[in-house]
Structure 1
Amino acid sequence: MKALYLKEIRSFLNSLVGYIAIAVFLTTTGMFLWQFSGPNNILNYGEASLYSFFAIAPYVFMFLIPAITMRSFADEKRNGTIEILLTKPISDIGIILAKFFAGSTLVLFALLPTLVYYYSIIQLGEVKGNIDHASTWGSYTGLFLLGMTFVAIGNFASSITKNQIIAFLLAVLLSFLLYVGFQFFAENFVAPWDLFFIKLSIQEHFEGMQKGVIDSRDVIYYLGTIVLFLFSTKLSLQSRFW
């Protein structure tokens, strides 16, 4: 699994996919936070906080991560290399985990440079260091878990089709549904079951971690969702025998 994981990382970096993904993420969030006027501009926000960044980043991830993962299995199927890969001395779950951890590593690489935003806020405050550190680190933890969840969703979408565009669109749709779809549905259509559907929303659990409290229920939700989509990917690969 380690060899495949390293191969996937090299594939991201050698093809410029990884660099482009990180550059797009940093450019998009940076423009909204520092250049574009509006409520998300940190300089106009009037508070030493990264709230705007954590409000924007999930929506950027919602499109960026599917663009990264869409070729994960779809490209292997299209090129006919999936059969070769599946005959290697590595289990299906090993292949899935290698691709999942490679995508998650790229998410981590994208987040690390944003610590510059964190440092800038510390320095720009009327009182240096006057920032809610617990809330910030809780938000970073939640955002990384959210990114890992989108990677699992993207890999699943890529495993059920040979077409990268279809894999991309399906991953975006599933990510959007899990992030805000359930909450919108609960608030507008199913009043008696609204709390149940709200708890299915990633946004609900992400906002919980933004308060600076790492609740085990939020972590379990993220991990459970990741496992669900990893298992679904395994079933998709096993369908070759059906």
Structure 2
Amino acid sequence: MIAILKKEFNSFFASPIAYLVIGVFLLINGLFLFIFKDDFNILNAGFADLNPFFYLTPWIFIFLIPAITMKSFADEFNNGTIELLKTKPISNWQIVLGKFWAALLLVVIALIPTITYVYTVHQLGNPIGNIDFGATIGSYIGLFFLAATYTAIGLFTSTLSKNQIVAFILGVFSTFFLFYGFDAISNSFDNNLTIQQIGINAHFKSISRGIIDTRDLVYFISVTIFFLFITKTRLENE
């Protein structure tokens, strides 16, 4: 698994993918949080918190993470290298997990520079330091599990087509539906909480409050493992 992880991770930085992902992620956040005169602008909010960042990022991830994962298996299938990969002394689980951790590690690296936002809000508080660290830490934990789930979904959709663009579109649609779709459906049933709990957004919001509920963690881990499992199953059937 480590060999696959290193190979995949190095391939991100051997091409423009890693630099584009990190650059686009930070640029979009920077523009909305500090430049554009809109409701997300931290400087014009009148109070110091990172809620706009934690609201925006899941939506940015819907496009960014499928862009990272779209080539994971689609490229292997298209070039015929998947057969060569499967002849190596590694299991299908190791192949899937190696690609999964490589993509997730890239997302984590993109998140690391955003810690400067925490410092900025810490300094802007009146008095200085007037920031809810519990909610902030909870939100970052939520983003990690959210990214893991999106990555697992993106890997699966990458096995559905040899075309990277098709894999990207399928990844965007799937993550969007699981993040927001059940909220939209619940609105048709008088905000039915049971339906909302099926979706990702409800569990991300729960963690973002700073309270780490094991039910939310179990949800994210279960969905991630499920998509990794069906990705492995697809790989076996190819």
What is the percentage of aligned positions where both structures have the same residue?
47
Counterpart-to-counterpart distance in 2, 1:185 and 1:120: 38
1:201 maps to 199
Q: Secondary structure at the match of 1:45?
A: coil
Counterpart-to-counterpart distance in 1, 2:140 and 2:223: 18
- Which ranges in structure 1 are unaligned for 5 or more consecutive residues? none
Which letter does structure 2 place at the counterpart of 1:137? I
What TM-score does the superposition give when structure 1 sets the normalisation length? 0.96
Counterpart-to-counterpart distance in 2, 1:135 and 1:124: 17
Counterpart-to-counterpart distance in 1, 2:222 and 2:204: 14
1:233 maps to 231
Q: What is the number of residues matched between the two proteins?
A: 238
2:220 alignment partner, one of 219, 222, 230: 222
Shift of 1:195: 2.3
Shift of 1:196: 2.2
Q: CA RMSD in A?
A: 1.0
- Spell out structure 1 runs of 4+ moving beyond 6 A: none
1:46 maps to 46
Which letter does structure 2 place at the counterpart of 1:206? F
Shift of 1:11: 0.4
Which letter does structure 1 place at the counterpart of 2:140? Y
Counterpart-to-counterpart distance in 1, 2:49 and 2:223: 29
Shift of 1:93: 0.6
Which letter does structure 2 place at the counterpart of 1:229? F
Shift of 1:19: 1.3
Counterpart-to-counterpart distance in 2, 1:182 and 1:42: 29
Shift of 1:238: 1.5
- Which ranges in structure 2 are unaligned for 5 or more consecutive residues? none
Counterpart-to-counterpart distance in 1, 2:164 and 2:16: 17
Note if contact 1:2-1:98 (Cα within 8 Å) is conserved in structure 2: yes
Counterpart-to-counterpart distance in 1, 2:13 and 2:5: 13
Counterpart-to-counterpart distance in 2, 1:67 and 1:39: 27
Counterpart-to-counterpart distance in 2, 1:75 and 1:126: 51
Counterpart-to-counterpart distance in 2, 1:47 and 1:16: 37
Matched ranges for 1:1-242 at <5 A: 1-188=1-188, 190-191=189-190, 194-240=192-238
Which letter does structure 2 place at the counterpart of 1:64? L
Shift of 1:183: 1.0
Q: 1:98-157: CA deviations, max 9, x gaps? A: 000001101110110000000011111121111000000000000111011111000000
Note if contact 1:122-1:131 (Cα within 8 Å) is conserved in structure 2: yes
Note if contact 1:107-1:148 (Cα within 8 Å) is conserved in structure 2: no
Note if contact 1:6-1:102 (Cα within 8 Å) is conserved in structure 2: yes
Which letter does structure 2 place at the counterpart of 1:216? T
Shift of 1:46: 1.1
Counterpart-to-counterpart distance in 1, 2:223 and 2:76: 25
What TM-score does the superposition give when structure 2 sets the normalisation length? 0.98
